[in-house]
């Protein structure tokens, strides 16, 4: 009897968990105006062929249908929503089945924050983070860093992609610099050796990888992914072995792609494609 009860509990538990893990399909296709914004602001999307663009749009709509975006002391524009979703989709683009079950809300702050999530005062060094403990399932991003990540094409920095890479890393339970779900076991030890060596190069000032990458393996992986998704050709030239690993992990041959805005860019004085009736520069395109 007890056994039966336990079994029932286990099975119900399984199904509850299973239904929690279900992401809903987006209700509508992406509105035209959002495609215009993506095409003008996200090089990764803009340089895709038409079929891949449709997939990207679907994944963006799916993300937005399942993850809440909450502005804290700031406004959230359509472009902010799109950039957050794009940052989620870019790293997993080769895995259309991927869903961020470990995320249900992104809190968008106006600027950088400190360890207590305060946006004023000193010591505000944090531009993004993945929540743990009571903040489990939440990501915090600064709007300035989010925008900057897509505006500057050569600084090898993209805060939002960095945070989503932590979530991908975390999908196996721990943020340790090894996204086990995407990583074949036999490569883990050689990967650790390589990371050790590369962190040492940073510490001894012989690397163009951002010093923050030397913090630990997990930060190294996230910092390296910013480099990979922003300047893949440069990464391949400077760190061919690291590049090969990332290509293998993410199944994306990025160094072969031309990243540029191939669709018409929106002029600063054009009407904003989000249909607010304002000029682009006073709406989604405002400088933060
Ligand atoms: Zn990090
Ligand atoms: Zn707008």
Q: What is the pTM of this model?
A: 0.88
Ligand 1 centroid from CA 177, angstroms: 10
Ligand 1 centroid from CA 165, angstroms: 9
Average pLDDT over residues 61-78: 94
Angle at 175 between CA 107 and CA 178, to 5 degrees: 130
Q: What is residue 122's predicted lDDT score, i.e. its pLDDT? A: 65
Exposed, middle or buried, 83 (CB in 10 Å: 0-12/13-18/19+)? Answer: buried
Which position has the higher pLDDT, 138 or 284?
138
Q: Are 236 and 246 in contact (CB under 8 A)?
A: no
Look at the alpha carbons of 175, 181, 186, 191 in this order and tell me if their dihedral is positive or negative. Answer: negative
State yes or no: pLDDT of 173 exceeds 70: yes
Cα(198)–Cα(214) distance, integer angstroms: 8
Give the Cβ contact number of residue 126 at 10 Å.
17
Cα(50)–Cα(67) distance, integer angstroms: 26
- H helices of 71-125, in order, are 78-89
Ligand 1 centroid from CA 44, angstroms: 22
Average pLDDT over residues 9-35: 72
- Which ligand does the CA of 266 lie closest to? 2
Average pLDDT over residues 183-188: 89
């Amino acid at each position: 009897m007890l056994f039966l009860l336990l079994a029932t509990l286990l099975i119900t538990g399984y199904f509850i968990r299973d239904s929690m893990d279900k992401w809903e399909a987006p209700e509508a296709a992406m509105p035209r105006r959002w495609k215009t914004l993506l095409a003008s602001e996200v090089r990764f999307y803009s340089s895709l062929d038409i079929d891949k663009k449709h997939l990207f749009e679907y994944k963006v709509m799916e993300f937005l249908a399942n993850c809440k975006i909450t502005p804290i002391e700031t406004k959230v524009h359509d472009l902010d929503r799109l950039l957050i979703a794009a940052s989620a989709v870019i790293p997993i683009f080769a895995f259309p089945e991927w869903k961020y079950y470990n995320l249900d809300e992104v809190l968008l702050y106006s600027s950088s924050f400190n360890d207590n999530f305060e946006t004023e005062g000193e010591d505000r060094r944090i531009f993004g983070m993945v929540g743990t403990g009571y903040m489990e399932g939440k990501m915090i991003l600064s709007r300035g860093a989010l925008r900057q990540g897509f505006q500057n094409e050569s600084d090898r920095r993209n805060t939002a992609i960095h945070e989503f890479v932590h979530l991908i890393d975390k999908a196996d339970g721990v943020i340790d610099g090894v996204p086990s779900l995407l990583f074949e076991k036999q490569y883990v030890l050689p990967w650790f050796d390589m990371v050790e060596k590369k962190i040492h190069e940073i510490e001894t000032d012989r690397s163009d990888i951002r010093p923050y990458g030397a913090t630990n393996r997990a930060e190294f992986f996230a910092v390296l992914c910013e480099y990979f998704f922003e300047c893949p050709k440069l990464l391949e030239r400077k760190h061919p072995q690291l590049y090969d690993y990332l290509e293998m992990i993410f199944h994306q041959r990025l160094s072969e792609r031309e990243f540029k805005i191939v669709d018409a860019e929106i002029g600063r004085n054009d009407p904003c494609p989000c249909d607010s009736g304002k000029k682009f520069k006073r709406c989604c395109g405002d400088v933060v």
